[in-house]
Amino acid sequence: MEMHDIEPYYKWRQYYISAEDKKSVFFGQQYDEFTFRNKVYNYFIHPQWDSIGSQTLYAKVIFADYEEGYAFIELIGEWNDCLNNDIMFLKRKLADSLIDQSINQFILLCDNVLEFHGSDDSYYEEWWDDIKEDNGWIIVLNSREHITKEMEKSRIQHYVTLGEELEDIDWRKADPKMSFQLISEIIHSRTKQLNY
């Protein structure tokens, strides 16, 4: 499969579309299915992905529940904090606006993230500080093993939950609420284990 063939997950569009959500930073976004503009290096990506300002990392909010306070954000490309400060773009462009709308639980779907290059952890710490008072959390779901290792080298696991049972969850099998419930149970189980 080529990069431009990889679409954001579309089977939850019956529940949520960010371009139709008045609270979304992507509200009113128009998508041209036939014109490929965005690239990760020399590879065009599908036009349904949203730019967050990074040259190598793109996103799609595939579901947001403001009452329950959680969002699923699908990512594609290379997550490069070292050269591009991608975490700054992810935090400023996307997370901050969702936090302003009472989102405090973030599921970052990394099935299509190909590489990770870390830098310092200050934006991760800031993100964590913004949500921890409300029992919020950030998880990295379905990252490749080498990406998880790189993230751990960058010490972001102090602010982001990743690895172990979060590396292979088939979140597409259920609707968003059921997927969130499954993920939430894993997070609560981990929290209980840490508290013993």
71 vs 41, 60, 108, CA distance in Å? 28, 10, 9
- Identify the residue whose tokens are 């990252």: 143
pLDDT for res 191: 64
Question: What's the rounded Cα separation, in Å, for the pair 65 and 151?
Answer: 27
Using the 8-state DSSP alphabet, how is residue 94 labeled? I
**Structure tokens that stand for 153 in this block:** 């080298």
pLDDT, mean of residues 43-58: 93
Instruction: Give the model confidence (pLDDT) of 142-195 as tens digits.
Output: 999 999 999 999 999 999 999 878 888 889 999 999 999 999 988 888 765 544
pLDDT at position 195? 47
- Assess contact for 78 and 44: CB atoms under 8 A: no
> Residue 117 above 60 pLDDT?
yes
Encoded tokens for 1: 């499969």
State mean pLDDT over 30-47. 85
Tell me the average pLDDT across 114-138: 94
Confidence grade of residue 196 (pLDDT, cut at 50, 70, 90): very low
Q: What percent of the chain has pLDDT over 70?
A: 96
pLDDT tops 70 at residue 51: yes
Question: Could you tell me the CA-to-CA distances from 106 to 31, 72, 91, 103 in Å, in that order?
Answer: 25, 6, 11, 8
Q: Tell me the whole-structure pTM to 2 decimals.
A: 0.94
| DSSP states along 13-66 | TTT--GGG-TTSTTTT----TT----EETTEE--TTSEE-S-SSEEEEEEEEET
Q: How far apart, in whole angstroms, are the C-alpha atoms of residue 90 and residue 110?
A: 13
Digit-coded pLDDT (tens) for 52-94: 999 999 999 999 999 999 999 999 999 999 998 999 999 999 9
